[in-house]
Structure 1
Amino acid sequence: MIIFNHPNFLGDNFHFMCKILSRIEELSKHEGITIGALEKKIGASKGVLSRAIAKGTDIQAKWIESLVENYPQYSAEWLLTGKGGMLKTALQEVMVVEPVRSESPNKGAPYYDVDFLGGFDFTFNDQTINPEYNIDFKPFNKQGVSWVNITGHSMEPRINHGDIIAIKECRLEDVQYGEIYAVVLDTIRTVKILRKSNNPDRMRYVPINEDNYDEQEYDNSRILRIFEVLGNVSRFI
């Protein structure tokens, strides 16, 4: 549960509430959905947000909490105060505790010494494909998480050539626009920021290094598997 302690939040400060409602509109536009769809997503009755936006009236704190909890990629500080960026950092911050090679097969997440962009077919249930060892890094010691290699320079400086990335498989409908994903298409494998396309049956694949790499669009029907990129570290072993 997220608790809001902003001194004006529960008051009747008209301008303060109007600014929050304006940022909620920004969030919905960034997601490419209507306010009505946003209401449905957070479990609010139809018109709870739209009437407040139209009239500049207060909304209950629980709906702000639900917004933050359902859209964790957005900054709660930005939503409440307008400070900082709209989106949180796409990847988790580097931790003080460094990842290490685990001597125990029951500790850490499996590391596959394969290159995501080098033609490896992710069939993790195939017993012929075994991890080299486990990587013990507490933020990512979770069920379903694996580590793999990354090559190429399209995601620099965020993800560098030769890094290893922590990934977890997800569904297409779970994709949060603006986040980084590793996608297995029918002919290529790529790691990019996914963004909304004007065509609902496609997505935009956006590199960070836009000086040397172009944005592409691909049909969603070509996606074989998709993985959320949880974090990355420089090769340490």
Structure 2
Amino acid sequence: MGTVQRVQQFIETKGISKYRFYQESGLSNGSLDKGENIGSDKCEKILYVYPELNPDWLITGRGSMLKEEKENLKPQINYENKGAPYYNIDFIGGFDLVMNNQTLNPDYYIDFAPFNKEGVVWCNITGRSMEPELNNGDYIAMKEMTDPIQYLPFGEVYGFVTNSYRTVKRMGKSDREGFIRLIPTNKSPEYSEQDIPVNIIRKVYAVLGSMHRLF
């Protein structure tokens, strides 16, 4: 088993898609589809983004997949531009408007290695339609997508902005041409799937991860 196979095993264990892995690690699409091993520079990127991964296991296959010591995985708040900025605003309450205000400073920064990447921003999420996957009051890490929505993978969670509303849902394929399906995680009858036309969507943000409030 080479490093490529071990990375694929790690992805499966972590429960993320290849697309999400490429987004988080910065590796180009298809990097895991070529050969059995990847270069040391790519391994360094992976280990930086996923500090819980055991480097000895990744490179040689020896030992366990994950490090036993996980204290370094705890997010830290700071005011020194370390990590990704956090804005104390709800995505549904106008997060995209805040992002367009270049004069607004973040409340603080969250230093959390898996999400310390260019373009990533933390904000809040309210509502219960995505529970238990995303809980009311959680922090969510988001990044604006620049690719046309037609090229974004189905099955991932996104924040959608239209002229009328903002919502966080899993994107599914619609039976209607020119539409996508918004799928809530919560199976309560009050939350149902909804098809919306692609042409009303102004912005799309990938939801990269979430965590409960730090204090």
Q: TM-score range by the shorter chain?
A: 0.5 to 0.7
**For residues 5 and 109 of structure 2, what CA distance do their matches in structure 1 show?**
39
Task: Give the TM-score taking structure 2 as reference length.
Answer: 0.64
Say yes or no: does 1:189 pair with 2:172. no
2:191 is matched with which residue?
213
Q: Quickly say closer, same or farther: Cα 1:141–1:3, change in 2 above 3 A.
A: closer
2:77 is matched with which residue?
101
Q: 1:3 Cα deviation (Å)? A: 3.6
Q: 1:102 Cα deviation (Å)? A: 1.6
1:124 is matched with which residue?
99
**For residues 177 and 3 of structure 2, what CA distance do their matches in structure 1 show?**
33
1:183-230 CA distances to partner (integer Å, 9 max, x unpaired)?
111111000000011123110000000213011111111111101000
Alignment of 1:81-100 (within 5 A): 97-100=73-76
Q: 1:100 Cα deviation (Å)? A: 1.6
Q: Which runs of 4+ in 1 moved over 4 A?
A: 61-65
1:63-104 CA distances to partner (integer Å, 9 max, x unpaired)?
999xxxxxxxxxxxxxxxxxxxxxxxxxxxxx7622121231
**For residues 110 and 139 of structure 1, what CA distance do their matches in structure 2 show?**
14
Match of 1:134, SS? strand
State how many pairs are aligned: 154
Match of 1:139, SS? helix
Q: 1:155 Cα deviation (Å)? A: 0.4
**For residues 96 and 3 of structure 2, what CA distance do their matches in structure 1 show?**
40
Q: Quickly say closer, same or farther: Cα 1:176–1:100, change in 2 above 3 A.
A: same
Q: Quickly say closer, same or farther: Cα 1:168–1:205, change in 2 above 3 A.
A: same
**For residues 121 and 95 of structure 2, what CA distance do their matches in structure 1 show?**
14
**For residues 121 and 83 of structure 2, what CA distance do their matches in structure 1 show?**
9
1:176 is matched with which residue?
153
Q: Aligned-pair RMSD on alpha carbons?
A: 2.6
Aligned residue type for 1:138: A
Say yes or no: does 1:142 pair with 2:117. yes
Match of 1:142, SS? coil
2:141 is matched with which residue?
166
Aligned residue type for 1:195: G
* Structure 2 residue corresponding to 1:201, chosen from 149, 155, 178: 178
Q: Quickly say closer, same or farther: Cα 1:176–1:2, change in 2 above 3 A.
A: farther
| Unaligned segments of structure 1, at least 5 residues | 6-40, 43-60, 66-94
Q: 1:153 Cα deviation (Å)? A: 0.2
Q: 1:119 Cα deviation (Å)? A: 3.5
Aligned residue type for 1:147: W
Aligned 8 A contact 2:3 2:36 in 1: no
**For residues 110 and 100 of structure 1, what CA distance do their matches in structure 2 show?**
12
Identity across the alignment (%): 43
Say yes or no: does 1:229 pair with 2:179. no
**For residues 97 and 35 of structure 2, what CA distance do their matches in structure 1 show?**
39
* Structure 2 residue corresponding to 1:155, chosen from 130, 137, 144: 130
Q: 1:131 Cα deviation (Å)? A: 1.1
**For residues 202 and 36 of structure 2, what CA distance do their matches in structure 1 show?**
35
Q: 1:150 Cα deviation (Å)? A: 0.3
Q: 1:4 Cα deviation (Å)? A: 4.5
